[in-house]
Structure 1
Amino acid sequence: MAKNAIYDIHDPRFIKLIVGSARLEELYSGCRWAEGPVWFSDANHLVWSDIPNQRILRWTPEGGVSIFRQPSNFANGHTRDRQGRLISCEHGTRRVTRTELDGSITVLAESYNGRRLNSPNDVVVRSDGTIWFTDPTYGILSDYEGYRAEPEQATRNVYRLDPQIGEVEAIVMDFNQPNGLAFSPDEGTLYVADSGASHDERLPRHIRAFDVVDGRRLENDRVFASIDDGIPDGIRTDLAGNLWSSAGDGVHCFAPDGSLLGKIFVPQTVANLTFGGPRRNRLFIAATSSLYSIYVAVTGTQVP
């Protein structure tokens, strides 16, 4: 294992994934809890959440930071669908929404089996258009990231939503606190973080992996990797199948076989990350009060 000011190299394979001369750049500070970054390739800008401040921010290379939306309904995780529309998880309204191209808001999911969702947290869209999201209780634990409330769902689930017919289906129902999620490049594997240890040290701080069958069923549940500092929150994959996870000390990178390749140290606790830039080789990192970025030597899995 080798260390320098930025990198912690656990496996020689990590050297090929990073740019040794790259530096970690702080692009903005002033958030209360930065989360949910998503890159808009067609508009050349990044959007991310500042949950407690009830705002979604926008960063552009030329113009810096501006307000994208406020109030945000305590929005957390975001992604884009295959038509380039913004999909958001809102803690305050306990729903998943879509921002249409004209700026109007469509509610995609707010209940399951006749009861309100807990507080949708993070979201990904599969190539078939289905939307997969996690529903822990973080947004109803207090009034800081949403509105305090008792959960109406008996479990904290991973859901699959078919927006064409409005069907919401619970796919996995045995998580402590399901959090970030990401598909492998071929969409044959779904990774889901369990951050249960955030409020109870006895609970998991690992990432589970599932085989995706017929685009809607998950099989072969296994623990893919564990985080040794903090908890796993947001996760992303690159085109080589490596998984990049948020952690207490920065970003952890895992090979497709689950082995830890290395870390990128970040001064603040990392909540989420995404690949962006014209070549999707720039890692944008939402970490506590700041937005950071660093160039890497890999390409992130495509998001419209």
Structure 2
Amino acid sequence: MTGIYESFEKEYASLIQGSAKLETLYEGCRWAEGPCWFGDANQLVWSDIPNNRMLRWTPDGHVSEFRSPSNYVNGNTRDREGRLVSCSHGGRNVVRTEHDGSITVLADSYEGKKLNAPNDVVVKSDGTIWFTDPGYGIMSDYEGYKGEFEQAGQYVFCIDPATGDLKVVTDDFIRPNGLAFSPDEKLLYVADSATESTGGERRNIRVFDVGSDNALSNLRDYYTMETGVPDGFRLDTNGNVWTSAPDGVHILTPSGVVLGKILTPDTVANVEFGGPRHNRLFICATQRLMSIYVAANGCARP
């Protein structure tokens, strides 16, 4: 395969549409992130963090502002009631947009101290809300407001939807970033995007077993990037991981074998499956929102 496709294993051919074109849907972001598909509204919402706004794309090609200012929102997802859940760098919190448009703060502190700057978020089928808190949004005034780290570490948190209680589910990361569950929710994948300039060097995705009580165990390495760092990622219905990378999107088997890549002109921050059949991969690539149809189907969400 040539052009935008780079194949390493024969199984790669079953996941991509060789005739599909990599399309640029929008240009003009400073750092595109947090893509979230709204199936009921037939639209994609994503964050343009340094421009302090969120944008909306619809299949007719129209792009409009979804929220501006956004308080430097980064990662986005939807809960089981279809409400938007977002990580705000500016607010150093996790917020939920209610059906009437009002905003509820779900978490902004832990043990009496401000969160660093929540980054990415996912909601499990039991309603629990899981998010990473690496603090990129307070390291400068570019993606938030420069501030002091108050937490003792960079954690992955879980919010109990019934009580609002916040707990640390793991503290074994330098800069926890993207996260996602396997289709059966028995595995949790978490990216560590640490570099020498941000407190250490890890550059990998690791995976946990998830117990029936949501306790994490058996942490192990899943995939390490040779150059650059992993950021956001999604899984398809067969458990393959489609992860952002400096050169595009890397597609990995559940055991961590790289099947191939979709190459992009700029660094990818995050991806999302969308469209009526969840077979359109939306790609946030630095200044661009891009998309490509694939032969896999993403795990459906509200």
Q: Check whether TM > 0.5.
A: yes
CA gap of 1:11–1:99, structure 2 versus 1, over 3 A, is same
Mapped partners of 2:283, 2:92: distance in 1: 25
Aligned residue number for residue 7 of structure 1: 5
Structure 1, gaps ≥5 residues long: none
The one-letter code sitting in structure 1 at the alignment partner of 2:60 is E
Shift of 1:62: 1.6
Aligned residue number for residue 220 of structure 2: 222
The one-letter code sitting in structure 1 at the alignment partner of 2:62 is G
Mapped partners of 1:202, 1:94: distance in 2: 23
Shift of 1:202: 5.4
Deviation sequence 1:139-174 (CA, Å, 0-9, x none): 000000011111000100000111220110000112
1:95 and 2:88 correspond: no
1:84 and 2:82 correspond: yes
Shift of 1:215: 4.0
Deviation sequence 1:1-51 (CA, Å, 0-9, x none): xx5111110111111000000010000000000000000000000000000
CA contact (8 A) 1:135 1:178 kept: yes
Mapped partners of 1:267, 1:198: distance in 2: 25
Shift of 1:200: 5.2
Aligned residue number for residue 136 of structure 1: 134
* Greater Cα offset, 278-287 or 215-224: 215-224
Structural RMSD (CA): 1.1
Q: What does 1:250-289 correspond to in 2, within 5 Å? A: 250-289=248-287
Shift of 1:302: 1.5
CA contact (8 A) 1:160 1:216 kept: no
Deviation sequence 1:158-202 (CA, Å, 0-9, x none): 001112201100001121100000000000000000000273595
Q: What does 1:62-211 correspond to in 2, within 5 Å? A: 62-197=60-195, 199=197, 203-211=201-209
CA contact (8 A) 1:233 1:246 kept: yes
Mapped partners of 1:202, 1:43: distance in 2: 41
Mapped partners of 1:200, 1:23: distance in 2: 36
Mapped partners of 1:50, 1:80: distance in 2: 18
CA gap of 1:148–1:166, structure 2 versus 1, over 3 A, is same
Mapped partners of 2:61, 2:178: distance in 1: 29
**TM-score normalised over the length of structure 1:** 0.98
CA gap of 1:87–1:285, structure 2 versus 1, over 3 A, is same
Match of 1:246 among 225, 240, 244: 244
Deviation sequence 1:246-284 (CA, Å, 0-9, x none): 000000011001111110001010000000000000000
Structure 2, gaps ≥5 residues long: none
* Greater Cα offset, 202-211 or 29-38: 202-211
Mapped partners of 1:97, 1:302: distance in 2: 22
Number of aligned residue pairs: 302
CA contact (8 A) 2:174 2:200 kept: no
**TM-score normalised over the length of structure 2:** 0.98
Q: Relative to total residues, which structure has the larger strand share, 1 or 2? A: 1
Instruction: Give me the identity figure in percent.
Output: 61
The one-letter code sitting in structure 2 at the alignment partner of 1:223 is D
